[in-house]
Amino acid sequence: MEDQVVGPDLKLATDRSGARATVSIAGELDAYSAPSLEEEVARLLDDDVSDLVFDLSATKFLDSSGLRAILTAQRRLADKEGRLALRAPSDPVRRLLDITGLTDHFIVEG
């Protein structure tokens, strides 16, 4: 597993197995930290990942910039006939997905 500390409020940990990768997002995914997630997604896609899971169980905060990063990742994967799933969204994340009407837009695991 590869850990990446983005700042005081976010840590990304990537676990890769073949074409599948899981990125655990711990902390706050906001305007400051979302570009780091986008960079990680770009790196994984360049390295032929086609099945991506965002583990959001430890994501304490998600704003519109973080949501945009997740939607962008989903679009980029769909363009490559790949798949994005959200694993165990925390209560704050699930609440934002519900408020924005995007809960059914994503594959949600757990």
Number of folded domains that form the chain: 1
63-86 exposure pattern, b = at least 16 Cβ within 10 A, e = fewer: eebbbebbeebbebbeeeebebbb
Burial classification of residue 2, based on how many CB atoms lie within 10 Å of its CB (0-12 exposed, 13-18 middle, 19 or more buried) = exposed
Structural domain harbouring 60: 2-109
pLDDT of res. 9:
85
The helix or strand, by DSSP H or E, that contains position 24, with its residue range, turns out to be strand 20-29
- Provide the H-helix boundaries in 17-107: 34-46, 64-79, 91-100
Q: Hey, which residues does 25 pair with through a beta bridge?
A: 12
The CATH number of residue 100's host domain is 3.30.750.24
Instruction: Record the pTM.
Output: 0.93
Report pLDDT digits (tens) over 2-22. Answer: 666 666 689 999 999 999 999
